[in-house]
Structure 1
Amino acid sequence: MQIHHIEGYIQTILLVEYPDKLLLLDGGCRCDVPVIEAFITDTLQRNVSDLKLVLVSHMHPDHAGGAHLLRKNIGCKIASVSFDRQWYQGFNGRVAHTIDLMLSLYVASRKGKKFKNIYYHPDLKPDIILQDQTCVPEFDDWIVHFTPGHTDRDLSFLHQPTQQMYVGDLILKLKNKFTSPFPIYQPETYKQSLNKLLELNINKILMAHDGFSEISPDDIQRLIVKSTVRPLTVGKVVKHKLKGLIKNKKSH
């Protein structure tokens, strides 16, 4: 088993290679699909049909954005968690979907990337429904763990033989320091998810935005202590900024 790190539009694409099959840890952005396909055919010198499964940790554009298109192009399956309600369901969900697309494009611009089409359908239609603490179908060396907080349905995936855990956006690394993601919809649940890493004795993580890193229990504990105690969302940040602007205008 070998894990390849591919530079995506705004994130690290992690492709797991086996002698007879390939596994993708998150689907990347829609515009990453040609990059993934080219890596398989040109770099690995393999057929794209070797990609058997795309895991989706949560519904944000850089994680779920390429999943449906990969399935359409290649015929691979999509595996994720199932909820009665889609993450982007209803009018408010569609607004959130638009905001998340715009935020992703903003991140891309900050990285010096050109504008690309990253639109994807807001409703995920997985072929395989994943359950907490079970093996990933066809890849039983990977174990599914529910680690919500960033959203209500985040998944992480533990590779048992090497004890590396793909944590998606559960943990980020900025300027060589571990930090919590933005947004955090469920702060208490987020802390519980970090505690799960401590319980599992995780010290090697694969992150969606920085790839592999070693992490200590103290690092994880610091994240728990410093993490927000209230939901930290785009709407709340904008509301706070507007209140500050109004207050400043009144004071003048």
Structure 2
Amino acid sequence: MTIPGFDDWQIIHTPGHTDGDIAAFHIPSKRVYIADLIVKVKGKFIAPYPLFYPRCYRRSLQAIESLQPESVILAHEGEINFSDIDFQHLIDSAPSKPVTHWRSVKYKAKKVFSSIS
């Protein structure tokens, strides 16, 4: 879908991190802004936290990869060459279950209570 009045921009629904995430692809320059779809931590590209919709997240990564952009613009990292990101590794290593604050708290509480017993 393009933005009315900005026909050189395409909007892509990229849920995963949240259900309302979007990416903006500038068609002439082949640059895509993906917000927090991917984050860089300790020099590595990883899935964001929290990640509410793992299956949607994988599909969103595949959608961005299929664009074959020249570069990818991350919210907290800036512009990265597309070839510097291993999308297949991100897809393969993406969590299979939601990774959320609530699940983290539940997991830690279970661990504490099981060590007391």
TM-score relative to the length of structure 2 = 0.92
Matched, 1:239 2:106: yes
Cα distance in 2 for partners of 1:173, 1:136 equals 29
CA RMSD of aligned residues (A): 1.5
Partner letter of residue 34 of structure 2? V
- Partner of 1:241: helix, strand, or coil? helix
Corresponding residue of 2:19: 152
Cα distance in 1 for partners of 2:100, 2:24 equals 25
The structure that is strand-richer by fraction is 2
Matched, 1:194 2:77: no
Higher relative contact order (CA 8 A, sep 6+): 2
The match for 1:210 among 77, 89, 102 is 77
Report the number of matched residues. 117
Cα distance in 2 for partners of 1:137, 1:149 equals 26
Matched, 1:162 2:35: no
- Partner of 1:148: helix, strand, or coil? coil
Corresponding residue of 1:227: 94
Cα distance in 1 for partners of 2:11, 2:87 equals 20
Identity of aligned residues (%): 37
**Alignment gaps of 5+ in structure 2:** none
> Is the 2:16–2:53 contact (alpha carbons within 8 Å) kept by the matching residues of 1?
yes
> Is the 1:198–1:217 contact (alpha carbons within 8 Å) kept by the matching residues of 2?
no
Cα distance in 2 for partners of 1:203, 1:216 equals 8
Q: Which consecutive segments of 4 or more residues in structure 1 shift more than 6 A? A: none
- Partner of 1:216: helix, strand, or coil? helix
Q: How does 1:54-133 map to 2 (within 5 A)?
A: none
Cα distance in 2 for partners of 1:218, 1:210 equals 13
**Alignment gaps of 5+ in structure 1:** 1-133
Partner letter of residue 107 of structure 2? H
Cα distance in 1 for partners of 2:104, 2:70 equals 32
* 1:249 CA drift (Å): 2.1
Corresponding residue of 1:138: 5
> Is the 2:51–2:100 contact (alpha carbons within 8 Å) kept by the matching residues of 1?
yes
Partner letter of residue 146 of structure 1? H
Larger radius of gyration: 1
TM-score relative to the length of structure 1 = 0.44
